[in-house]
Each structure stands twice: as structure tokens, then as C-alpha cells.
Amino acid sequence: MQLVERSHQRSDIVCYLPKYEVVVCTECHYVLNKSPSIGRHLISTHLWSKAEATAVDQQFNDKAIRSPNHPNCTWILPNH
Ligand SMILES: [Zn+2]
């Protein structure tokens, strides 16, 4: 059995898609609203510490982010 160690410092968990101007959580494929919702998602869903979540959140401060009008709307994450 192979154990995979999961770090809470995976800042690549959140991915910006410039084509759609959205930020996506790659772990749950949720489209996130802009700051501070990105950090809030990491804290509430992935149990990150506030400091780590805020650091990731702030990486996207200068990005154009289109927030989905409906929180439950489903977006399709393109495969790479
Ligand atoms: Zn997530």
C-alpha cells in the first residue's frame, strides 16, 4: 500500500483560467468567486489555515474574475 502525503500548502489547488476569467478549485472543480471567497473556500472546504488560504487568495487579487451569478451553476473544466 502506498501512502500519499497531502500537504496543505498546495497553492496550485486553485487554478486561474484566463480564457473564461474564472478561478477553479482543481480538487472539487468548483468555480470560485473572487477574493475573499477563494480563501473562504479553502478554509471551509479544505480546512486550510487562515494564513495559508489568505496567501493563495491574494495571488488572484489582480486577476479579472467573473463570478458566477448562481452559486450552483455548473461549469465544465476543460481537460488538458
Ligand atoms: Zn475545493
How is the chain split into domains, by residue range? Answer: 35-71
Residues in the 5 Å CB sphere of ion ligand 1: 25, 27-28, 45
Q: How far is CA 40 from CA 9, 13, 56, 69, in A?
A: 15, 14, 11, 18
Cα-to-centroid distance, 14 and ligand 1 (Å): 8
Residue 71 confidence (pLDDT) above 90: no
Task: Report the chain's mean pLDDT, rounded to a whole number.
Answer: 81
Q: Around 25, how many Cα atoms within 13 Å sit in the side-chain half-sphere?
A: 22
Would you say the pTM of this structure is higher than 0.85? no
Residue 73 confidence (pLDDT) above 80: no
Residue of 6, 35, 2, 15 lying closest to 75 (CA atoms)? 15
Cα-to-centroid distance, 49 and ligand 1 (Å): 14
Residue 10: pLDDT band (50, 70, 90) is confident
Cα-to-centroid distance, 1 and ligand 1 (Å): 26
